[in-house]
Chain A
Amino acid sequence: MLQYAKGRPLPLWLKSGRVQTGLVIIFILAVCAIFAPYLAPNDPNEQNLLSILTPPIWADGGDAMFPLGTDSLGRCVLSRLIFGARVALTVAFSASIGAMIIGAFFAHVAGYFGGWVDWLIGRVVEIWLSFPPVILSLILMVGLGTGLRNVVLAIVLVDWTRFCRVLRSEVIVLRRRDYVSAAQLVGFSHWRTITREILPGTLPLLITLMSLEMGVAVIVEAILSFVGMSVGSETAAWGQMIADARQNIYDAPFNLIAPIFAIFFAVFGFNILGDGLRRTLDTRLTQTERT
């Protein structure tokens, strides 16, 4: 950390406009998630059956108490939106870390050792890929049962192959490098060679993939909660808000727009961060391609 002390220029990746945009979006979402109880005007689960499906504040009949209106049970849309960020971000971070750890582990083992280990892991990935991700995660949710922990688990179990496939080919390139052979000659153990010599080389790609995976996780969670297979109904989630709004599409179209925008905003943040990181961290891209 001392390297970047006062007066030093920012590291290259932080200078990228895309990375900054992504970080700002994620920061806003994180603030919403962490300080949800202070930011939300109402209790997200409180039902006001006397004022159901009220329009947002700027439309006719809007109520200042519910700035973005209410849903079919009279729950405050804005408050549910803010609390929904909690589920989305929790899933995004924990699922992408989990998928990254499992995927990166198998990718490094397969790419480093090659031979039958590589063959076996390759076949397992192939079997996984013969399932459309949405279908596999739904089936897993049926088996695991609903709840935040199981949503994360299901996404990890489905998406580790994304990391495994891409990282494996990177590891194969890196393990042919001279410094890897040098490390082996010096008598480094396999574990040490992988963690000290190969991992630093795959790290940029790994970080980029993780950022993109967070976006995927937000979408998958929204899909699962839309179908009613995510967190229980007592926790506010964006997908549930969409499901509710789809039932009342003529009476309250705005209720549909709000969660769609929230999901899009979050996914866009993670995608643009990932794209910026890819451009600045990938050592093979030339200087002109980065800008």
Chain B
Amino acid sequence: MRMFATIAKLLVKRVLTAIPILLIVSALLFCILRILPVDPAAMSLPPNATVQEVEAMRTEMGLNLPLYQQYGIWLNKLFHGDIGRSIHFRQDVTSLIGSTLPATIELAVIAMGVATVFGLAGGLFLFYVRGTRAEAVMDFLSILLLSLPEFLWSLFLLLIFGVFFEVLPFTGRLSPGFERPVVTGFLLLDSLITGNISTFLNALEHMILPCLALGIALSPSLMRVLRSSLLDAYQDDYIQQARLRGLSEKRILIRHGLKNAILPTLSLMGVQFGFLFGGTLLVEIIYSYPGMGNLMVDAIRNADLPIIQGAGLTYCIAVLVISIVVDSLYLILNPKLRVR
């Protein structure tokens, strides 16, 4: 029970600090995009509109008011769930984000899983070969891997498995001919709910390359942190104690070493997963994956301010949510922090 209380306390505290952060971020977003040399009024009218029409539109959109008033109006609408209408797509921004966000979340969550598996396995391996000649090689290799961001991995995997060997699809989410079931908006989940196993497998196939690219790119830093925290943990007396008690090396590693070394790795993962969420943007573009990243870039190319503001804010909320979740996990796993 005590644990729930401390976690609830942390959640309340984190959510309360997240609110001012979001307010400031939204104000920054609003200001950065308002100094743009584009005139949203002129853009939402046909090119042959007269100066008077543009002027009337400016007044209607509230563009002649002082900046802080404009921000106030925008914020008020935001609280009522209205982020505005896209100028380019002629659709509500909320519905545009609502239809693309699930795809990005699916991509990010699976990629995080991939990164965790590779990161833990690699870290354990790096630790296992400590002090041997293989360590120097692995260490060098991990720097090599660190120099390949998700952007390059995506292209690289696409070339190898998509173009040269043609074993995996690399555009979109489904092959032509597949019907898209819509229940929750999460394609993988929806195809399972409706019992469409072939659709599910096809969607999964499309996600292999993007998820691998994101996951592999993130794993070297996790590996390195896990290794150094394991090295730190093995300096402590309890490892020697466990050896004296005659426990097997495997048991020492899992029950004693890893249990203590996982914490610093986890706190790094919080930061990294936030970055990963941003990294989905490029992967989405490279694999023509219909998520928020593609929406954002389309909006940027068309100077579609309402979408840029809405999507920017959504990315920001995602990062905050991820960091709150990781912090709560940290608390669950670290008994030292629980008892005050």
- Interface set of A (CB-CB < 8 Å, partner B): 126-127, 129-135, 138-143, 145, 215, 219, 222-223, 226-229, 242, 246, 249-250, 253, 256-257, 260, 263-264, 267-268, 271-272, 275
The A-contacting residues of B in range 266-313, CB under 8 angstroms, are 271, 274-275, 277-279, 281-282, 285-286, 296-297, 300-301, 303, 308, 312
Task: Determine the residue in chain B with the shortest Cβ distance to A215.
Answer: B147
Question: Are the C-beta atoms of B36 and A242 separated by less than 8 Å?
Answer: no
How far, in angstroms, from A222 to B110 measured CA to CA in the complex?
A: 26
* Chain-A contact segment, one of B86-94, B156-164, B193-201: B156-164
B209 to chain A, nearest CB (A): 13
CB-based contact B320/A268 at 8 Å = no
Provide the bound-state CA to CA distance between A135 and B162, in Å.
27
Q: Are the CB atoms of B159 and A257 closer together than 8 Å?
A: yes
B282 and A143 contact, CB distance less than 8 A: no
Q: Is the CB of B143 within 8 A of A268?
A: yes
Residues of A within 8 A of B296 (CB): 135, 138
Asked if B155 contacts A242 (CB within 8 A), the reply is yes
* Complex CA distance for A145 and B279, rounded to whole angstroms: 22
Residue B146 is within 8 A (CB to CB) of chain A in the complex:
yes
Stretch of B24-32, B64-72, B95-103, B251-259 that contacts chain A: B24-32
Report chain A residues within 8 Å CB of B156: 260
Given A138-B296, A145-B37: A264 and B274 within 8 A (CB)? no
Chain A neighbourhood of B278, CB < 8 A: 131-135
Decide yes or no: A229 and B151 within 8 Å by CB, A133-B278, A249-B163 being known contacts: no
Q: In the bound complex, do residue B315 and residue A135 qualify as a contact, i.e. CB atoms below 8 Å apart?
A: yes
For B275, what are the chain A residues with a Cβ–Cβ distance below 8 Å?
132-133
Q: A226-B285, A271-B147 are in contact. List 13 more A-B contacts (CB 8 A).
A: A127-B28, A130-B21, A132-B278, A134-B281, A135-B281, A143-B36, A222-B151, A227-B297, A249-B162, A256-B155, A256-B159, A257-B159, A260-B156
With A132-B275, A139-B33, A142-B303 in contact, do A271 and B315 touch (Cβ < 8 Å)? no
Contact of A127 with B24 at beta-carbon distance under 8 Å, contacts A135-B278, A145-B37 already known: yes
* Nearest neighbor of A157 in chain B, beta-carbon distance: B32
Q: A131-B25, A260-B152 are in contact. Are A139 and B159 (CB under 8 A)?
A: no
- The answer to whether A142 touches B33, judged by C-beta atoms less than 8 angstroms apart, is yes
Would you give 7 A-B contacts (Cβ < 8 Å), ordered by A? Answer: A127-B21, A130-B21, A134-B282, A142-B33, A257-B159, A264-B147, A271-B143
How many angstroms between the C-alpha atoms of A263 and B148 in the bound complex?
Answer: 9
Chain A hits for B315, CB < 8 A: 131-132, 135
